[in-house]
């Protein structure tokens, strides 16, 4: 079954304690990205990756890091989480960049993160 | 200025009616347009995409694109209570490396 898997799904953590949200896809997709969703603001892109070892900033990258050492994995790292990073996070992937109809974006189920 | 704008709603329609959801975008060079449906607490799911001016129909859904007016809409015919969700408009802008920009979403409620 084609899927994007995120972990953890739910996490409460304290300010300053480093955490990593993992993301894995089993579709051999080249393109992966991270979004955060906040009330009234919709989905905002944090980082994206066009392929292995190729990453770039999205609209709201501050306070986040990513890496793409393998094609299937794209972890999101919060080195020193702060309360304003409390949000719902989605990982997404697609076959490749571009507007082709084959490039459906698949979303993970989301990770609810609370920083206190 | 927001790149992709939607009325946040909530929009309420009676069961069986046509629901009309609207979206405007600021980048005139935008190429690809998507509508996602998101149930509360769930991930977005793609319901329609459109690239060319005009209408595109898929079952009860019709996407309409007018690039001159920088406007894309989604019509849902014969609305059902199960259509109650937040609908997200998304746009891939010109020159972008697959940077999909989302609107803030319109909350739709279909009343039985």
Cα–Cα–Cα angle for A71, A113, A110, rounded to 5 degrees:
50
Q: What is the pLDDT of residue B31?
A: 82
The residue in chain A having the minimum alpha-carbon distance to the alpha carbon of residue B43 is: A109
Contact between chains at A42 and B32 (C-beta distance less than 8 A):
no
Q: Predicted confidence band at A68 (pLDDT cuts at 50, 70, 90)?
A: very high
Does A110 contact B at CB distance below 8 Å? Answer: yes
Does A104 contact B at CB distance below 8 Å? Answer: yes
The residue in chain B having the minimum alpha-carbon distance to the alpha carbon of residue A88 is: B41
B-chain residues near A99 (CB < 8 A): 31-32, 51, 92
CA distance linking residue A40 with residue A79, whole number of Å: 26
Classify residue A22 by burial, with Cβ atoms within 10 Å: 0-12, 13-18, 19+: middle
Cα A12 from chain centroid (whole Å): 17
Contact between chains at A109 and B42 (C-beta distance less than 8 A):
yes
Phi and psi (nearest 5°) for B64? Answer: -125, 130
Best of A99, A101, A111 to mutate (most B CBs within 10 Å, chain B): A99
Is the N-terminal amide bond of B21 cis, ω within 30° of 0? no
> Which tokens hold the place of A94?
């697609």
Contact between chains at A43 and B49 (C-beta distance less than 8 A):
no
Q: What is the pLDDT of residues B7-63, one digit of tens each?
A: 877 999 999 999 999 999 998 888 889 999 999 889 999 999 998 999 999 999 999
Instruction: Count CB neighbours of A100 within 10 A.
Output: 12
CA distance linking residue A108 with residue A8, whole number of Å: 11
A-chain residues near B107 (CB < 8 A): none
Q: What is the pLDDT of residue A1?
A: 80
Whether the pLDDT of residue A100 is over 80: the answer is no
Whether the pLDDT of residue A33 is over 90: the answer is yes
Q: What is the pLDDT of residue A98?
A: 58
Q: What is the pLDDT of residue B86?
A: 95
> Which tokens hold the place of A6?
């995120």
Q: What is the pLDDT of residues B73-100, one digit of tens each?
A: 999 999 999 999 999 999 887 665 557 7
Nearest chain B CA: its distance from A18 CA (Å): 25
């Amino acid at each position: 079954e084609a899927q994007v898997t995120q972990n953890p799904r739910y996490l409460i953590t304290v300010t300053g304690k480093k955490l990593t949200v993992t993301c894995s896809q089993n579709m051999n997709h080249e393109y992966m990205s991270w979004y955060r969703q906040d009330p009234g603001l919709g989905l905002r892109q944090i980082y994206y990756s066009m392929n292995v070892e190729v990453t770039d900033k999205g609209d709201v990258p501050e306070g986040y890091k990513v890496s793409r050492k393998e094609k299937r994995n794209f972890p999101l790292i919060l080195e020193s989480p702060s309360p304003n990073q409390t949000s719902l996070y989605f990982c997404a992937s697609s076959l490749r960049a571009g507007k082709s109809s084959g490039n459906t974006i698949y979303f993970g189920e989301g990770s609810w993160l609370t920083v206190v | 200025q927001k790149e992709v704008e939607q009325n946040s709603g909530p929009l309420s329609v009676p069961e069986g009616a046509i629901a009309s959801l609207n979206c405007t975008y600021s980048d005139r060079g935008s190429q690809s347009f998507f509508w996602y449906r998101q149930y509360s607490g769930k991930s977005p799911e793609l319901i329609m995409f459109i690239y060319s001016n005009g209408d595109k129909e898929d079952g009860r859904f019709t996407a309409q694109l007018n690039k001159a007016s920088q406007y894309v809409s989604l019509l849902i015919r014969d609305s059902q209570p199960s259509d109650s969700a937040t609908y997200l408009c998304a746009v891939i802008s010109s020159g972008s490396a697959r940077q999909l920009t989302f609107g803030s979403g319109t909350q739709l409620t279909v009343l039985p």
